[in-house]
Structure 1
């Protein structure tokens, strides 16, 4: 059973269990032991990070743990999460590590792992690492300790790979683009790439100070970017999160579009060009029912998975699909990347604008969403709110009431101590009632 790893690695508040320097050292040693090969080949790990102050601490602790087991460490510095997946594979590394808590606030941090193929680790591999953390590992002999080295051109390598995914000869000259980097990992790479492609770049969230990542900016707070799009007369806004693996788009009128609208556009365009493998899109249970209906009208199937882009990718690999993502803005284009890549997805949207000669607002209004309500309720550590009898009864009553008129989804967050309650229905009064019933029951359970 996994206790440390959630839906996207290990995550928590810095200097509180499990995100302590001591635990990071143990995690690094366990991961190094798990991936250490006995065939005499190289033992190489790449480590990237976002811009949180605690990233320095975790980078050093992980490096100490990994080198203690004989792994050589290549330090990429601040780069987007998808760059770590790319560099792990291109540098023939045994392991990739990203230090980031993604869209979470600055006090949080996390550790994500990539295998030698550039894909996030499976549940089985994470469980094996947890067992090694628990049992302890034997360090390498003194002569076998690994080395650490800085890699100075990681973001440039990533940028070239991003641009290579676009149609040959594509230029963005004439497009005015607001790019909100959330004061995160893409604060240098994203504006540079847009400028190189010819866009007029209006940057936002590009002054990280170790504490302001995701603060009132980025994909989880697109209001500032929406305002700037209107004020500066921009054609489009691209909002990334702290590690740049998700994107939210804004049209020329400042209207915000989520990942469902972008996935609908890309799926239909890919299908029309004969490039949508399996004629299906992979998305999670959180994606809007309107997306499913819209795709069905275009003879495109929607494959649903558990929440988390890693589960989307697993289903894509199992079924041979090449497009997937999440409503939150993770867009996975597996012909070009091994994980969600917010900047790549944003650039492919710009490519659609150029090719179709249509405005962002036209392209981002693909379907009418079914009304959806999502509420979160926080619980204390050690509680199991969904196991309480009163909560189970409230869920059963709400599911029975909404059956046939919508859907209800209740789940624990894999990254925060939250219960997420989501309902969809054309009957908004009903939707509100069933969500409030479950929320109230969860709150009572912790009283």
Structure 2
């Protein structure tokens, strides 16, 4: 997968435009980005809650708080592969992970085509193209999905949120956010919570699409396609913004209770300069909120006050998984990580494949790793290099791997004992 960072593209354009001559290599020893000092890995015992049977996976992170917990998975034998539309291209990419409800798996391709697929057989139940009349197919790459109260809510790269009848695909309403908004929406308590990239969070009436209230942050420059979405539980809604600000509000009325800024980058790593975006959706676990940026920070906040409890000097681009007194995530330099939930200190870090090329002068294609999901006693990571890997949560040891045709374009989700993932070539893959 091509990981095209906006800042990197701008820098390249400036160099080409100026016709700069190639400079000689600087003297000294080259140190890989993973060679920085870190604590030795520890195989620390863990007491995981029992794996629960979850018939649905209705939104990103498995629930409105984004804390899926430990779910049951029957196996990892390929069950079906169903084409769901346009795969990744140079101009468009898939950013939505599948959601599962009512015996259907819902997907969004790279060209705004929504599909409903039978969870049992892999057959297509319906498809709806949500491209607006004024646009061409493929122009609005990006978006996400959430299910609630019989409807499928879809954010898209055109800056809109649509509600579709989950049984038929018929569009019930469309709300324009007046700005690109491709983070996955969140459904809770009769509202749809959405993000737009102009520094606004939205609460929409799920029945009509009308705006209940909004919350605002400052706008930001460079950010990542897809972005992070709001986490909601009980009275709380927590919004992440591309500026690095996280705002805690009352879900009823949107009154702002606290604000925190997640700032900082990994020293010596150029990606840390590119974006301040919150890359890992907030995860609410009890009285804590876990959230990370894309450049080198994961933090734990107090849900009631926003007070920072700890900071880990590594980033994350997917929601963390809290379980058994630990938090698990893939960090900003492609390592599967286990950290202590009480302190944020690393327990172990496991390297995942990083670059396609072995020659550092030809580093162009960086593998992307999605997840993890904690299922039946193992951590599962889906990767764009075409492998689905399983790891031991105690030690981080690799315990198994299966081919993932086409390479992953989304995080893996688990529902009804089956794992689903969307591939870069536009297929829904099922394993059970």
Q: TM-score, normalised by structure 1?
A: 0.28
Which of 1 and 2 has greater Rg? 1
Q: Which one has the bigger strand percentage?
A: 2
Higher RCO (C-alpha under 8 Å, 6+ residues apart) = 2
Q: TM-score, normalised by structure 2?
A: 0.29
